[in-house]
Structure 1
Amino acid sequence: MRLARRAAVAIAAGTLLTGLAVHGTATATAPHAGSPPDTLTVTDPAQADTLREAAASQGRFIGTALNDALLGDPAYTAIAGGEFSSVTAENAMKWGSLEPNRGQYNWAGADRLVEFAAAHDQQVYGHTLVWHSQLPGWVENGGFAPAELRQIVDDHIATVAGRYAGSIDRWDVLNEVFNEDGTFRDSVFYRAFGDRYIADAFRAAHAADPEAKLFINDYNTDGINAKSDGMYRLVSSLLAEGVPVHGVGFQSHMILGQMPSSYRANLQRFADLGLEVAVTELDIRMNTPADPARLDRQADQYRQVVGDCLAVSRCSGVTVWGISDRDSWIPDVFPGEGAANLYDDAYRPKPAYWAVLDAFGGAPGPDPTDPDPTDPGAPASCTAAYRVVNSWSGGSVVEVSVTTATALDGWQARFALPAGARVTNGWNAVFAAAGGAVTASHVDHNRVVPAGGTVSFGFQADTGAHATPAVALNGAECARS
């Protein structure tokens, strides 16, 4: 599959789902891979009320990492398609995902991402061609002689970058090649070739897709330190050799209250080399559960990151690593930490969302004196009836009816079952579960619901009679009827 590069962006988020911050219309032109960031503009920045419109008003992109497994979730895809102008594959373009067995490629997830981007007039940030992690076992443990491994790497780059040539705006050619002290990481590639594999990978990627901008990407390089100094020495030497390196990505997986004071100066010194710089994997984690004070501090830190990017003319944009806190990688890697993203577990925009929108010059966020729709004391936009209509030892049948005050084109209802319980079958909805949380999503015949309309669905669970849980519709908790 070869998809043509998008020539223009018509940003029209529309009223995608009730309760989501995706609305407004503007028109912009998407930059060619070789054009400067400031070619991306909107006609009236003061009216920009989505992230992508606001970022475009500053000549920048705003991106997110996409989880392929969630692209069937209407709330997730509404935000991904409406709010962001660039997408990065969270895992679908990594070597282990694409080529788990030598010569046998699985293109499904990567193709879906590229097709999603084309359908939503988005740039694609390719991630990643050569990385020591998430390698298939046959590469990591193959014991190949250097000459054969060289051919394997070249073939992989040519196949992947070649397949998507013309569709990828930026490629992370190399990812995480440094230790914390600025020395090169020990990897199967470094052991075989020394640091020469880095220049060779850039040349191979450029041969496969001459239009894409080619990046090297790493974490803990946000401030001026030993690791970023190592990166600076490397890219300086690559440029001196004429290697086609075009940019440096700064992952910026941050901790609340620990933003480096030299962040802007660090971006600037790489930009002064003539390189594009980008914030590629931004999230800001904290100890959980979150509280309002820490969420406000997090918002300030997000605002500062965006402000520092805007202050550096060659900083082309910011990618956040994931959409909602419920989908984040952080709790699995850092137990007891999380709440790192722009949207909460129910896909509601957090203070950090409004801070990023504001930093890009977008429309102001909600008036703090207005009622909070997530406050149990605020008027509900829906009512829900949850009834256990039959139960026995180890099982029950449940019927749920939800009446909405506003018209819907696509819906999700969320509720919790008792610990350890699960839905075994259901009707009039598609069911998914994560932990004890259950999500029931529309099917074709009940996708559209008029204002004042009611949607009903049911399911069988492997638990007996149980307490009535709260039901949320598209992220807003419903009153009980």
Structure 2
Amino acid sequence: MRSLRPGFTVASLLTGLATLGALLFTAPAAQAADAPLRDLADAQGKVIGTAVTGGKLTGTYAEVAAREFNWLTPGNAMKWESVEPSRGSFNWAEADQIVDFAEANGQEVRGHTLVWHSQNPSWLTNGGFTPAELRTLLMNHIDTEMGRYRGRVEAWDVVNEPFNEDGTYRQTIWSDNLGQDYIAEALTRARAADPSAKLYINDYNVEGVNAKSTALYNLVRSLKERGVPIDGVGLQAHLILGQVPSTFQQNIQRFADLGVDVAITELDIRMQLPATADKLAQQAADYRAVMNACVAVDGCSGATVWGFTDSDSWIPDWFEGYGAATPYDENYAPKPAYHAIAESLGGTTQPGDGCTATYSVVNQWNTGFTGQVRIACTDTALSAWKVNWTFGAGQRISQAWNANCTQSGTAVSCTNASYNGTVPPGGSVTFGFNGTWSGSNPVPEVTLG
């Protein structure tokens, strides 16, 4: 809460007018992006994709999806329960919409997913089918879906999440009834259904070297030795803030050494809410670490974020108290994570480019004063901010409002409150503080991060 300011007198007005000043500091570097992410990725020969929801492909959501990404993954539209909710009755509307959108915007499509233990229709899971019947249903499903998009979908997550955390095979409707070789059968059928599409096995918690990723590695090696068609592995990368595996690049490299493509397929990095400037800075470092690991390995085709905006993220619904996992906030303001991705792909932009911080003394009396900082953006945006300055004459902050301020010696650092971190293009926010001075009260130079 903002407190009442000290009394205002004629003497304080004269003193304040004499010392009133403002210093405009513009953060270094360029505007929001020197090039869209997709152009940077194209120049590196990499994929930068996003999962999308078909019903949201209008307005700003569609504009960002088209401008920034060279691949699209249907988040749910191609899963079995979506395309065949009742046996023999198909609904391709959303999947068609996403494929059409991608083609209209020069983007490739990653099909997701054909064989999975989850999000299957109840008629399938509760149908009491024999193993022979299930095999026929599965093969017909692969034929039907891949056949519909033959030549239009560049890659498919054919088999999704086949392993437990300890590297054993997950018990599913498929493994329980068809045995572990359901994976080889599905891949073989998928190759016949669309010989031009790249075929992947996709899983989570396989980003670093561990029991689960080693099981996947051994499976891929075995499939290749047997001549089963397998073109790549997908490392989902649903990560937690500050927990990027130290062996990420090593793991990517060992799969690439098997002669398969490696794709980061569902990247998001969740944090415990509320988001703060420090958490967003750590998130940016984590995104940079993931992207740098991929860029460093020729066999890593690129990365797909699992939704590019927090307004279309699955995290809050599945992990209570967590969120803010994507490169854009809910108002489509790019976060530091966006700029980290850009930098990993060869861009030069920094968060805060195109925004300014202005410090001013708005009231001064005897040994006290009230200051204000205004943060304004032109053609870019902020989803969090941090302002720093150094007092040159021993001033001290005694209280602040609309920001969280700390002072150590002469150094002051202020970060946004939970409710005013977002600064849209053309918008601004302000925060204020009371302080003390003695002798002089010069206006400091401020930096914006």
Given the two structures, how large is their TM-score scaled by the length of structure 2? 0.73
Q: Is the 8 A contact 1:22 1:79 kept in 2?
A: no
Q: Secondary structure at the match of 1:189?
A: helix
Q: Is the 8 A contact 1:49 1:363 kept in 2?
A: no
User: How far apart are residue 69 of structure 1 and its match?
Assistant: 2.3
Q: Secondary structure at the match of 1:198?
A: helix
Q: Is the 8 A contact 1:346 1:475 kept in 2?
A: no
Question: Are residue 236 (structure 1) and residue 255 (structure 2) matched?
Answer: no
Q: Is the 8 A contact 1:170 1:215 kept in 2?
A: yes
CA RMSD of aligned residues (A): 2.3
User: How far apart are residue 141 of structure 1 and its match?
Assistant: 1.1
In the alignment, structure 1 segments of 5+ residues that lack a partner are 1-20, 24-47, 382-405, 407-468
Note the alpha carbon deviations across 1:198-235, whole angstroms, 9 max, x for none: 00000111101000000000000011111111101111
Query: In structure 2, do the counterparts of structure 1 residues 235 and 69 end up closer, same or farther at CA, with 3 Å as the change threshold?
Result: same
> What residue number does 2:343 align with?
358
User: How far apart are residue 370 of structure 1 and its match?
Assistant: 4.0
Q: What is the distance in 1 between the residues matched to 2:286 and 2:151?
A: 35
Map 1:41-60; keep pairs closer than 5 Å: 49-60=35-46
Q: Secondary structure at the match of 2:374?
A: coil
Q: What is the distance in 1 between the residues matched to 2:53 and 2:198?
A: 23
Match of 2:85 among 79, 84, 100: 100
Match of 1:175 among 143, 160, 174: 160
User: How far apart are residue 94 of structure 1 and its match?
Assistant: 0.4
> What residue number does 1:184 align with?
169
Identity among equivalent pairs (%): 51
User: How far apart are residue 376 of structure 1 and its match?
Assistant: 9.0
More displaced, 101-110 or 361-370?
Answer: 361-370
User: How far apart are residue 372 of structure 1 and its match?
Assistant: 6.5
Q: Is the 8 A contact 2:336 2:351 kept in 1?
A: no
> What residue number does 2:366 align with?
none
Q: What is the distance in 2 between the residues matched to 1:296 and 1:380?
A: 19
User: How far apart are residue 169 of structure 1 and its match?
Assistant: 0.8
Q: What is the distance in 2 between the residues matched to 1:360 and 1:60?
A: 9
Question: Are residue 197 (structure 1) and residue 194 (structure 2) matched?
Answer: no
> What residue number does 1:278 align with?
263
Number of residue pairs matched by the alignment = 346
Letter in 2 for 1:242: G
Note the alpha carbon deviations across 1:383-408, whole angstroms, 9 max, x for none: xxxxxxxxxxxxxxxxxxxxxxx9xx
Q: Secondary structure at the match of 1:371?
A: strand
Query: In structure 2, do the counterparts of structure 1 residues 193 and 345 end up closer, same or farther at CA, with 3 Å as the change threshold?
Result: same
User: How far apart are residue 367 of structure 1 and its match?
Assistant: 5.5
Match of 1:253 among 234, 238, 241: 238
Q: What is the distance in 1 between the residues matched to 2:302 and 2:357?
A: 31
Map 1:87-166; keep pairs closer than 5 Å: 87-166=72-151
Q: What is the distance in 1 between the residues matched to 2:315 and 2:348?
A: 30
> What residue number does 1:421 align with?
none
User: How far apart are residue 320 of structure 1 and its match?
Assistant: 0.4
> What residue number does 2:385 align with?
none
Map 1:59-458; keep pairs closer than 5 Å: 59-72=45-58, 74-365=59-350, 370-371=355-356, 377-379=374-376
Q: Is the 8 A contact 2:239 2:270 kept in 1?
A: yes
User: How far apart are residue 473 of structure 1 and its match?
Assistant: 11
User: How far apart are residue 368 of structure 1 and its match?
Assistant: 5.6
Q: Secondary structure at the match of 2:217?
A: helix
Q: Is the 8 A contact 2:377 2:425 kept in 1?
A: no
Q: Is the 8 A contact 2:263 2:302 kept in 1?
A: yes
Q: Is the 8 A contact 1:251 1:280 kept in 2?
A: yes
Q: Is the 8 A contact 2:335 2:351 kept in 1?
A: no
Q: What is the distance in 2 between the residues matched to 1:57 and 1:302?
A: 19
Q: Secondary structure at the match of 1:152?
A: helix
Q: Is the 8 A contact 2:288 2:340 kept in 1?
A: yes
User: How far apart are residue 180 of structure 1 and its match?
Assistant: 0.5
Query: In structure 2, do the counterparts of structure 1 residues 150 and 118 end up closer, same or farther at CA, with 3 Å as the change threshold?
Result: same
Q: What is the distance in 2 between the residues matched to 1:357 and 1:82?
A: 13
Larger radius of gyration: 2
Q: Secondary structure at the match of 1:166?
A: coil
> What residue number does 1:4 align with?
none
Q: What is the distance in 1 between the residues matched to 2:117 and 2:319?
A: 21
Query: In structure 2, do the counterparts of structure 1 residues 108 and 372 end up closer, same or farther at CA, with 3 Å as the change threshold?
Result: farther
Q: Is the 8 A contact 1:175 1:218 kept in 2?
A: yes
Q: Is the 8 A contact 1:63 1:86 kept in 2?
A: yes
Query: In structure 2, do the counterparts of structure 1 residues 380 and 202 end up closer, same or farther at CA, with 3 Å as the change threshold?
Result: closer
Q: What is the distance in 2 between the residues matched to 1:376 and 1:248?
A: 49
Q: Secondary structure at the match of 1:155?
A: helix
In the alignment, structure 2 segments of 5+ residues that lack a partner are 1-30, 359-371, 380-418, 430-449
Higher relative contact order (CA 8 A, sep 6+): 2
Q: What is the distance in 2 between the residues matched to 1:170 and 1:239?
A: 18
Note the alpha carbon deviations across 1:45-84, whole angstroms, 9 max, x for none: xxx5110011111110100000122113x11111000000
Q: What is the distance in 1 between the residues matched to 2:65 and 2:209?
A: 32
Note the alpha carbon deviations across 1:341-381, whole angstroms, 9 max, x for none: 000111100000001001100132355694169x9934577
Query: In structure 2, do the counterparts of structure 1 residues 178 and 366 end up closer, same or farther at CA, with 3 Å as the change threshold?
Result: closer
Letter in 2 for 1:51: L
